[in-house]
Amino acid sequence: MNPKITPDHLARSAVVYVRQSTMSQVTGNLESQRRQYDLAGAAEAVGFASVTVIDDDLGRSGSGLMQRPGFERLVAMVCSGDVGAVYCIEASRLARNGRDWHHLIDLCALAGTLVVDPDGAYDPRLVNDRLLLGLKGTMSEYELSLMRQRGIAARDSKAKRGEFRFMLPPGFCWSEADKVEIDPDEHVADTIRLVFAKFRELGSARQVFLWLRSADIKMPVVRRNVEVCKLVWKPPAYHSVMQILHNPLYGGACGHGLSRGAPVRPAASGSLATNGMCCCVTIILVTSAGRNTRRIRSSCSRTRI
């Protein structure tokens, strides 16, 4: 047993924090899950009075951009003084940002709680251990930035070659030749055409939404579950209508990396900030000589939101 784990620590409980960043990791990377859950057995073997496993954050990123109820529960338990040690498979499981990491380490130092990983046990009250924990947290944060940078560079490279595949809006699908084609489901295509036809007729996105709701017409919505995209039919929603009307893909245009400029901010009235322009598109399927071709007629009209 590590000499830093004293009878005072063993008299309190141990907490095993389990986290994976995405749902694809939760469903696919089961060995990492198993290794993290096995830490509960390691804590029991050391002799802790009780062991609590916190796995509320499975599928949640530790970058600090989303809420983590499991991490908040861990912080609350450390603050209560009832936790003798926090077990994690590595520093990145606890946090991927310096704010959360150093906040937790400060609280562990005040409560006399150890941080334990497969490399050893660390006491935040000791200078050398505090230095090592600080380096682990910094490297974890840097690793996230490095992975993001590599991922963005790979994505941009594929986009330049025209090989980048992304989730298409309702009405389009990827062909076997990796080309964007109109969805062969006529029900989906006709519903999208109806939205644009009603927009030209009524001149207002809100009026289109109200008409669709009064006519009890369901809208196609693309749902993504991990790597699988599924088309479902749902009652019309205002944001769904707006997404269709503002999507340039329906006008035959596809842009990548266009969000690097100034972010879109909410208008003063609380409605979505918009330039007042909406691309209105009519998609016409023409059957000729046994093959399908398409003609796209685009026009821009001002919308009243």
Active site residues: 21
Instruction: Render 94-133 in DSSP notation, one character per residue.
Output: H-SSHHHHHHHHHHHHHHT-EEEETTEEE-TTSHHHHHHH
Distance, in Å, from the CA atom of 14 to the CA atom of 48, rounded to the nearest integer, reads 6
Contact 37, 73 (CB under 8 A): no
What one-character DSSP code corresponds to residue 279?
A: E
Instruction: Render 238-274 in DSSP notation, one character per residue.
Output: HHHHHHHHH-GGGGT---SSGGGSSPP---TTSSPP-
Give whole-number Cα distances, 203 to 103, 239, 264, 278, 279, in Å. 53, 16, 24, 10, 12
